[in-house]
Amino acid sequence: MVNLEVFTVSNRSLGKLDVPEASTIKELKSKIAKISKISTERQSVRQEIKGKDLNDSLKIESLKLGSPAKIFVKDLGPQVGWSTVFLAEYAGPIVVYVLVAASNGIFHSSLPERQPTFMSRMIYSAWVIHYLKRILETIFVHRFSHSTMPIRNLFKNCTYYWGFAFYVAYHVNHPLWTEPPAIISYIGLAMWIICELGNLSVHLLLRELRPAGSTVRKIPHPNGNPLTNLFDLVSCPNYTYEVGAWLGYTLMSGCLPAFLFTLAGFYQMAVWALGKHKNYKREFQDYPKTRKAIIPFVL
Ligand SMILES: NC(=O)c1ccc[n+]([C@@H]2O[C@H](COP(=O)([O-])OP(=O)(O)OC[C@H]3O[C@@H](n4cnc5c(N)ncnc54)[C@H](OP(=O)(O)O)[C@@H]3O)[C@@H](O)[C@H]2O)c1
């Protein structure tokens, strides 16, 4: 049994708890909920005031708690369910893109109408398919360890995704938009298809690591599908493929806003991948040493 003192991130004591060493952070959160007014979904439990959020499946005995043992809890604020999040975040870009594509010709009625080509249809379909895939994966593939997220993230994420959807759709569907040279577009299309399939393959592999209803985390390894071999080189190949898919989209469309969206996504995913990579090394002593976080051999 460990005797823990629980503090807020403003260093105010919430009280002391006796917790079995074999219990998980999830179980600890239920106990914290009883001595504070913070429900389990709103809690971010950490070892230091500005420390990392501890995963629900971690066991108390795996933490290096000092003496006296202290743990900090941050109230993440009001939460929103994942179903709301994915509908707003991922369905929004489809709606915005389709509406802008349909109305660009109307806004620019003085300009000659552009006739759709095979590649312009591919660019349109790629955008819609990408976000439809994300919605379907959120419903049928991902086994998230958190059922909710802070409501302020929803506003932040929607602004990001909807804003870029407008920015990209406006340019790609503008009557004066011109197609890049065919060879570049076709290389982009091939890259987009391979990376979307790779991203899906990695998501399916991650699903297999976690039994339904649990928050178990394991070391991912390639599973025979050649697109998962990237796990030999990086910890987050789904992010590598995601960035590759947007690079492909940029080549297909020759669109600067799409490139800026790729750069912004890359920056965000690189930050997350570095954090996840560090967590893997901390959590699993036998974690493969040769892996990088997101770019093979580099980052
Ligand atoms: N364009 C962009 O800006 C952008 C940004 C972010 C994400 N995305 C896309 O959205 C996808 C999902 O993003 P994400 O950040 O949720 O990806 P992620 O952290 O890699 O997680 C995907 C799913 O796998 C689970 N998982 C991860 N590692 C695991 C392990 N070792 N053992 C068991 N389960 C594990 C996660 O559970 P947990 O809930 O426990 O983490 C989650 O349910 C990305 O792959 C990418 O395609 C795009």
- Out of 12-16, 85-89, 98-102, least confident range: 85-89
Nearest atom of ligand 1 to the alpha carbon of 146: 39
pLDDT at 29: 94
Give span(s): CATH 3.10.20.90, the chain.
2-76
- Mutation test residue for ligand 1: of 133, 196, 269, the one with most atoms within 8 Å of CB: 269
pLDDT tops 90 at residue 241:
yes
Q: Ligand 1 in contact with 143 (CB < 6 A)?
A: yes
d(CA 193, CA 133): 12
- How many C-beta neighbours within 10 Å does residue 69 have? 17
The string of pLDDT tens digits covering residues 262-294 is 999 999 999 999 999 999 998 899 999 999 999
Ligand 1 centroid from CA 72, angstroms: 25
CATH classification code of 2-76: 3.10.20.90
Nearest atom of ligand 1 to the alpha carbon of 241: 47
- Mutation test residue for ligand 1: of 136, 142, 162, 204, the one with most atoms within 8 Å of CB: 142
The string of pLDDT tens digits covering residues 16-28 is 999 998 899 989 9
Nearest atom of ligand 1 to the alpha carbon of 142: 43
Q: How far is CA 104 from the centre of its chain?
A: 31
Phi, psi of 135 (to 5 degrees): -65, -50
Q: Ligand 1 in contact with 275 (CB < 6 A)?
A: no
Stated pTM of the model: 0.86
- The mean pLDDT value for 120-131 works out to 98
Give how far Cα 215 sits from Cα of 25, 67, 204, Å. Answer: 11, 29, 16
